[in-house]
Structure 1
């Protein structure tokens, strides 16, 4: 009798207590999740570090494979987009010839004119005014171009436009007084942040980009520094895109990465937030419809890899991929090139780009033409299919005798020739991939087998220089870069 009695007693007395406990727990668990008592308080999340401090499992992603979570403005591309190749050429380099390009100065002045609300700038150094280059002479008044841009920024702030400038940390070579002078004259409208790349990257690091984003509608990416010489005397090239929010918003996202890193005590995040992400890349570029001709495919890459938000192609990987896809030709023009680090001591051999060029030339019989500036690095004589661009110089003090352009063209030949190009803000030394901030802009036809007019123009610009009297075969130089 004892065991059945005890069993009945336990069922009658203990079971109601257990049921009460379970019901109470269920109610509290429901309240916990309904009101999110365990989540971040005050709606705060840490977008920069990739966590939100919750202890619950993340929701199941509804994103397609390879897509990123996005936050912010992402406008569609329309036929209103206007692409302009911006070029700095010395007046007497190609006198009385037209090449369908616009001067770098005029491109920037139009950006200033178009601005209605906001200008954001990513920059290396500033020498727009002559007093930043006191050791130079300017008898012909070339510095007026820099003065125009400086005055234009001052005027923009005075008429109520917000200006944010992210620049490399001031060094002994340059004072960087100009951005601070613009800020101090308009403290309510202008903000300036400087980035010390050496804190985050080993060796020699700096911000080397030259980029604008205006009102989320207009943009520029190219090689020209904020230097009067870059606007008048250094051979530069870039791309301005007007009335094109889909492109300008993406450029702004990359500059905003610099802006974040310029904050006091900034550290590299483990994961960039959704407000910096993009779903536009080499495989899925922006498709920009054109008023005439095929649509244009555009995407941006950046370096170093630690600054790449979700979806962003890395610069060196993007360049190598485009070279590996070439069928007929690869044309390259840059100021500095070396298959190694040049600023980081000790030097490190870095062959990724060079190997891609050799693969193209030797395995697929792609025509490779390589122009570089006669500058302060040894010209790589080991490639008989490369030429050096012998810099223009008439002996004028501070008449900068070199080409600073950075771009490459690649043929993607199908039934019809369809080429693509990359414009870059940085040189092609390993340091620039590893520890320096830069931006690349990839352009090609969005329609298979169709020719992209922008790439065709860039090809003509390359061949203009290649076939000019200023281009000298590297066989004419010794191993120290001295003309034989």
Structure 2
């Protein structure tokens, strides 16, 4: 199912309330592309109009919590417009003012406290037809949806310190030690939601960094990772400092013989990111059991095409799959997304070895891994980082697209 179909279904099936956590609300392409927007944002335009109409119904209440300040032009545009039309109750939150650093970076839609989407996609036209995204759509699961509502409640109350503390004091219903037991594809499974940052987690909530590291440490034979950004750094701090938690866990997995494959983009700071990836890949074949392979994925673009569209055609995924576990999240793999103030969430699903859902996610990863658009790390480094001679290299972002010069490339 496409992201568009999942969101459309959630909006249309809502009968009472719809809660949206968004890093940005830019469904209409016109905010960035002007008159050209209609060529690229038909799905986003449709969802915008659907939210506009749904929010006007007397029996449905739509609430949106959204990051502020915006990074790029148009990032908050549709949330503001929908609010002005009376279709949504919207709160924008500047987490840096509340916690000292960070962004509202979670991405989920919750319908009637029974159904939800959580994943990598922003509420943005580009996430519907330009970027590679992956999310979890959960239906008729009131237990887990109510737990996600507890997370939304914390975000909603962020501007009010007293109410926020009360929301945080509500215990998480499920966590790593006490997951929800469900039936998935006719097989037993366990599921829970983990979040960041720790200071905003409900009592008893698993920190999503702990979830990632523990599942890497638990992997026995295979570990496949697809993330946009991989940096063992606090990338957006000045000065940058080392962030070793995930990188060390991956090295432990490689040394003990787990077959590790990592797909990433080389969009942000490629001269830095590719060198860290080369350091990881240098462990390949260090002994007879050590296996680590890295590829850089670039969604194909048109030569002489629109520079903005070419830049936006990228992988934006944030998931991993092991022998028995799937983790689908909203955070890139850099320290800033787990420590500090930036919010994030991840759904963790565990099955027996070769469970049907685990295998489905493995197949999704394999499709990308074996694609002609997945380039060997050494090839990408030589042709795109050192010389920039290949037609699959990432384009440089036009600075005029930023909302203000101070904004950095959080995505």
Q: Give TM class, smaller chain.
A: 0.7 to 0.9
Identify the match of residue 144 of structure 1 among 12, 17, 42: 42
CA distance 1:345–1:266, change in 2 (3 Å): farther
1:386 alignment partner in structure 2: 294
Shift of 1:271: 8.3
Please give the residue correspondences for 1:319-330 in structure 2 after superposition, counting only pairs within 5 Å: 319-330=212-223
Provide the secondary structure at the position in 2 that maps to 1:194.
strand
Identify the match of residue 168 of structure 2 among 263, 272, 296: 272
2:320 alignment partner in structure 1: 408
Identify the match of residue 228 of structure 1 among 111, 114, 125: 125
1:181 equivalenced with 2:81 (yes/no): yes
Distance in 2 between the 1:246 and 1:451 partners? 26
CA distance 1:278–1:266, change in 2 (3 Å): closer
1:127 equivalenced with 2:39 (yes/no): no
- Unaligned segments of structure 2, at least 5 residues: 282-292, 390-411
RMSD between superposed Cα atoms in Å = 2.1
Please give the residue correspondences for 1:435-454 in structure 2 after superposition, counting only pairs within 5 Å: 435-445=341-351, 449=352, 451-454=354-357
Identify the match of residue 157 of structure 1 among 55, 65, 77: 55
Equivalenced residues, count = 364
CA distance 1:238–1:136, change in 2 (3 Å): farther
For residues 333-384 of structure 1, what are the alpha-carbon distances to aligned partners after superposition, in whole Å with 9 as ceiling and x for unaligned? 011110001111111111100000000001x110110000131222222232
Contact 1:166-1:192 within 8 A present in 2 as well: yes
Identify the match of residue 327 of structure 2 among 413, 422, 431: 422
Tell me the TM-score normalized by structure 1: 0.71
Distance in 2 between the 1:390 and 1:197 partners? 32
Distance in 2 between the 1:316 and 1:441 partners? 12
Provide the secondary structure at the position in 2 that maps to 1:407.
strand
Please give the residue correspondences for 1:270-419 in structure 2 after superposition, counting only pairs within 5 Å: 272-274=168-170, 277-290=171-184, 293-362=186-255, 364-378=256-270, 379=274, 380-384=277-281, 385-395=293-303, 396-397=305-306, 398-399=308-309, 400-411=312-323, 419=324
Provide the secondary structure at the position in 1 that maps to 2:110.
strand
- Unaligned segments of structure 1, at least 5 residues: 1-101, 412-418
Distance in 1 between the 2:51 and 2:201 partners? 29
Q: Say which structure is richer in helix.
A: 2
Shift of 1:429: 0.9
Shift of 1:262: 3.6
Distance in 2 between the 1:156 and 1:454 partners? 32
For residues 376-399 of structure 1, what are the alpha-carbon distances to aligned partners after superposition, in whole Å with 9 as ceiling and x for unaligned? 222222232222213322243132
For residues 392-441 of structure 1, what are the alpha-carbon distances to aligned partners after superposition, in whole Å with 9 as ceiling and x for unaligned? 22243132221001100111xxxxxxx21100111111111112111011
Provide the secondary structure at the position in 2 that maps to 1:111.
helix
Shift of 1:136: 8.5
Larger radius of gyration: 1
